[in-house]
Chain A
Amino acid sequence: MKCKRCRRAEAAVDLPSHHAAFCPDCFFLFFRRQVTEGIRKLRLLSPRDRVLVCVSGGKDSLVLWDVLIDEGYETEGLYIDLGIDGYSDRSKEKVLAYAASRGKTPIVVELAKEGIPIPEAARCVRMQECAICGTVKRYFFNRVAAEGKFTVVATGHNLDDETARLLGNLLHWQHGHLARQHPLLPGSDEGLVRKVKPLWRVSEVETAAYGFLKGIDYVTEECPMSEEATSLVYKEALSRIEDRMPGTRIVFYKGFLDPSNPLRKGAQPPESADDDSTPAGGAPYADAMNVEEAGAPGGAARACASCGAPTYTETCSFCRLKERVRVARSQRAARVSR
């Protein structure tokens, strides 16, 4: 198969959803154009932004960082060490190696040192790891960005992630989450830093192909905590549809983002650091710990009494989680000593 763009070189990537196939050089152009168009259309970034790129060691976040560096944005990487045996060490190695190859040193937050490694925290409070991980990561994304005077936080969520989330929100009629789901989550004067998802137009296959062809060494193993994640069920359903009807995903998501879509009518900018919820147990995308804040109807945000982060309650969901973990630990210690 020949490249559909240059018509000379052998194609390396076929994209039925775009009725196209590209050689590596033409695919790089195509991919970067998809990302830059996604940024331009939704005004996600400006050339003056200081961008904090959240990197996990996986393909999407490293590819995002790569594209933003190549596009001339001022970026720093943030890696959060989740404290997952083996997996976190391997992920961190990939991030450090990639950063070094671009002359960068990422900011590293170690959850073990913060007293809240994900596996132990999940056991202590008997919650699904992904729900806790979402709360903790969102907290540190915002805190590191605010403290480091970054103007925007960028994550590697791609088209597959966003459509899986959309499907979950639709199936459970999460009206509040539907109104707020968007690649641009505005910041606020109360200390919430703007969040963007510049890869919203590209699929997982496209980011993986870009990473492979660019020689970016990313973690291919899946997070061991996410095997039961509900997002995987929605992704599987959507990939079955995409196999039969290429292009359905992007039509689905673009239609959702259309300002004339009634589901987006009256959409309020998210006003909580906890707003961009990820799946949780039996109530997808309605993290029980976030609901009261994410659903806060227009009340004024205030500083968390414990840490100062923006919140609608006395203490933010991260501090409440940390307190629950602390209490569970001391109860366990008391049982052991008896």
Chain B
Amino acid sequence: MYNASMITVRLPQKKKELEIPGPRRVMDLLADAGVRPTTVIVTRGKKLLTKDHRVEDGETIDVISVVSGG
């Protein structure tokens, strides 16, 4: 559900979605979501975001795990 007063953090591989109040830096959002920065890339649409990027309320970001096993 879209919420203009919150940041939406989507974790597609975990099939999980979080609503976090902004503004927050990507690294803080990852900490809130319990995700280690060296295991993911963070995107907004077709843009890749650095860990110090400031995300505003109403924006949606995707946290993509990069860890492959086997």
Question: Which A residues have a C-beta under 8 Å from some C-beta of B?
Answer: 1, 11-14, 21, 24, 58-60, 130, 133, 160-161, 203-205, 207-209, 212-213, 220-223, 225-227, 229, 231-232, 235-236, 239-240, 242-243, 278-279
Contact = CB atoms under 8 A, between A and B. Distances in A.
Contacts of A207: 66
Interface in B7-59: 12-13, 36-41, 43, 47-53
Given A205-B38, A220-B12, A239-B38, A232 B67 contact: yes
Contacts, number: 83
Given A13-B50, A242-B38, A212 B70 contact: no
Contacts of A225: 70
Nearest to A215: B46
Contact of A13 (B36, B48, B69, B70): B48
A226 B70 contact: yes
Contacts of A278: 70
A226 B68 CA distance: 9
A229 B50 contact: no
Given A12-B48, A208-B41, A239-B39, A220 B70 contact: no
Q: Which of A204, A209, A225, A243 has the most CB of B within 10 A?
A: A204
Interface of B: 12-13, 36-41, 43, 47-53, 64-70
B32 to A, nearest CB: 16
A222 B38 contact: no
A14 B51 CA distance: 7
A208 B66 contact: yes
A223 B65 CA distance: 13
A133 B70 CA distance: 9
Contact of B70 (A59, A130, A209): A130
6 contacts: A12-B47, A12-B49, A12-B50, A208-B41, A213-B48, A222-B67
Contacts of B43: 212
Contacts of A205: 38-41, 66
